[in-house]
Amino acid sequence: MNNNQLMLVLYVILYLTFSIFTGKIFDKIFPKYDRNKNKIFIYAEVIIQVYLLILFSYYTRKYINSLILKIFEYTLSETLLYSEVIFIPLMFTQMKQLFLKIDYITDV
């Protein structure tokens, strides 16, 4: 296994760990799905939640990259840049309340 492959495994482990825990935390701190709320209000909750998710993922990516650089003195190769693609979808899979809200507001 060469250095790039080892770093890819490390990135995947870090992103997977951050994704699962962050997704669970986000699902717990945001308001629960409530069918009695107005759809516009729920839509606003979804927008805020997704915005914060994107913001958080941006800073998490920067943190993980700087952590790898400090510990291993390794600069990202182009191949490893694509390992970040797994981060947000994995976070979304942990957000059950967000899925319920999206289903509710898209039900026409």
Separation between Cα atoms, residue 56 and residue 17, nearest integer Å: 14
Number of domains in the chain: 1
Biggest alpha carbon distance in the chain?
55
Q: Model-level pTM? A: 0.78
Give the structural domain span for 63.
3-106
Please give the pLDDT value at position 82.
Answer: 67
- DSSP secondary structure of the chain: --HHHHHHHHHHHHHHHHHHHHHHHHHHHSPPP-TTS-HHHHHHHHHHHHHHHHHHHHHHHHHHHHHHHHHH--PPPHHHHGGGGGHHHHHHHT-HHHHHHHHHHH--
Q: What is the mean pLDDT of residues 38-62?
A: 91
Band of residue 34 on the pLDDT scale cut at 50, 70, 90: very high
pLDDT tens digits for 53-101?
A: 888 888 888 888 888 888 888 776 666 666 667 777 888 888 999 999 9
In contact, 90 and 19? CB cutoff 8 Å? yes
